């Protein structure tokens, strides 16, 4: 019986499926798969195509890698952030750069997720954030957006994609939002040029987070990763830049590595949230780098450059290193995998048939391996002996 005949027999023909709404397509496909599978295995079917029905379905009969999916959580929106800010509830923000870390962030209840250009350093291994490109950042954003369904996602516009003109900045922001799936973009630097850039992006209908204080993209001009706002003139500049960015339409501003009292003054003056990183407890919220706060990188070089302001909430890197060393030992001693980790089997008759077929094709060693562990069970004939 053909596949189409089975469709008709089940009353789930193509015309019927065309009429289903998009929201019901997956359910219809799953129902069809289940009923068709039952029909094949319980209606006495016995031709050469037996068992091949699942190859026609867009819903697999079974999955090697699968798991339950939780109901979609309530998304954090700009309105959510504004409400928390108005109530004086500190905002939480963390970086993430891939699907697994985004899933963990999603489960934690964190408000904002920053896909930062710090990925250039903690993921790609560069010494600064300068080398990472817009295309690479968008790849990170896509992965994060697939894993984090709840937090408000902010994508960092990397160095070189917004400095040339307002038109370039708007184009880059649109590309990151459309392709990366972010809710807002972040732009480093203060006035006057950055304020014009922020204004242009804002007028394009895209939410923007500002960033003043230590701005890693300006490392060439700064001469290194140095704290900002430690003199009266520097602190005044930070205040003016933050005010200009607020005027340009920023929804929030990151304050990086400035004295706590300066951050408190800026926060008190502004009417939008400030997100501190190494800038004391008086900001409207806090942000840390995922890898830093979890203690991912244990090599002495990385330990040396871990920011002084970062509190480590775990030593994940130690656990990872221990697990990897244990894995190497297990494999080399043949302690892994055991039978418990070798779950897939082939029936004895099929294995015997495979051994005979391999023998006919001249794969002698492979045939011997299969035949030694096989049980013919009367399923194969002996016409080749």
CA dihedral for 54, 60, 63, 64, sign (positive or negative): positive
Closest CA to 282 of 295, 296, 293, 269: 269
What's the number of CA atoms in the CB half-sphere (13 Å) around residue 296? 10
Q: How far apart are the first and last CA of the chain?
A: 36
Question: 211, 188 in Cβ contact below 8 A?
Answer: yes
Q: How far is CA 384 from CA 180, 349, 360, in A?
A: 60, 16, 8
Best CA proximity match to 180, nearest among 133, 128, 244, 221: 133
Q: Is 332 a catalytic residue?
A: no
Catalytic residue among 135, 164, 203, 256: 256
Tally of CB atoms within 10 A around 353:
18
Which SS3 state, helix, strand or coil, does residue 207 take?
strand
In degrees rounded to 5, what are phi and psi of residue 217?
Answer: -70, -15
Residue 93 to residue 113: CA distance in whole angstroms: 6
Taking the C-alpha atoms of residue 226 and residue 59, their distance in angstroms, rounded to an integer, is: 54
Range 264-301 burial, b when 16+ CB lie within 10 A, else e? bbbbeebebbbbbbbbbebbbbbbbbbbbbbbbbeeee
Give the list of residues 6+ apart from residue 345 with CB closer than 8 angstroms, or none: none
Which of the residues are catalytic?
256
């Amino acid at each position: 019986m053909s596949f189409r005949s089975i469709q008709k027999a089940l009353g789930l023909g193509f015309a019927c499926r065309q009429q289903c709404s998009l929201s019901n397509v997956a359910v219809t496909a799953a129902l069809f798969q289940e009923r068709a599978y039952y029909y094949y295995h319980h209606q006495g079917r016995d031709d050469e195509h037996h068992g091949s029905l699942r190859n026609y379905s867009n819903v697999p009969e079974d999955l090697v890698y699968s798991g339950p999916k939780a109901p979609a959580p309530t998304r954090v929106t700009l309105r959510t952030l504004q409400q928390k800010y108005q109530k004086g509830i500190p905002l939480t923000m963390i970086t993430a750069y891939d699907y697994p870390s985004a899933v963990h962030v999603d489960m934690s209840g964190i408000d904002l997720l920053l896909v930062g250009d710090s990925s250039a350093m903690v993921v790609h291994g560069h010494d600064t954030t300068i080398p990472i490109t817009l295309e690479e950042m968008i790849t990170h954003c896509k992965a994060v957006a697939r894993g984090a369904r709840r937090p408000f996602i902010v994508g960092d516009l990397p160095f070189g994609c917004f400095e040339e003109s307002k038109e370039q900045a708007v184009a880059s922001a649109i590309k990151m939002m459309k392709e990366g799936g972010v809710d807002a973009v972040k732009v480093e630097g203060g006035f006057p040029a950055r304020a014009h850039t922020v204004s242009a992006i804002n007028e394009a209908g895209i939410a923007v987070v500002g960033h003043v204080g230590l701005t890693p993209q300006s490392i060439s001009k700064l001469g290194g990763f140095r704290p900002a706002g430690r003199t009266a003139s520097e602190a005044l500049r930070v205040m003016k830049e933050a005010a200009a960015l607020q005027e340009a339409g920023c929804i929030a501003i990151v304050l990086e590595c400035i004295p706590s009292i300066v951050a408190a003054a800026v926060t008190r003056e502004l009417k939008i949230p400030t997100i501190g990183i190494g800038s004391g407890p008086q900001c409207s919220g806090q942000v840390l780098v995922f890898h830093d706060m979890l203690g991912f990188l244990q090599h002495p070089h990385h330990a040396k450059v871990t920011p002084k302001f970062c509190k480590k909430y775990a030593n994940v890197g130690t656990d990872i290193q221990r697990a990897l060393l244990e894995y190497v030992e297990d494999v080399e001693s043949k302690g892994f995998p055991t039978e418990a980790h070798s779950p897939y089997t082939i029936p004895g008759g099929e294995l015997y048939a495979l051994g005979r077929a391999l023998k006919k094709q001249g794969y002698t060693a492979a045939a011997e391996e299969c035949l030694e562990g096989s049980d013919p069970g009367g399923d194969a004939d002996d016409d080749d002996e």
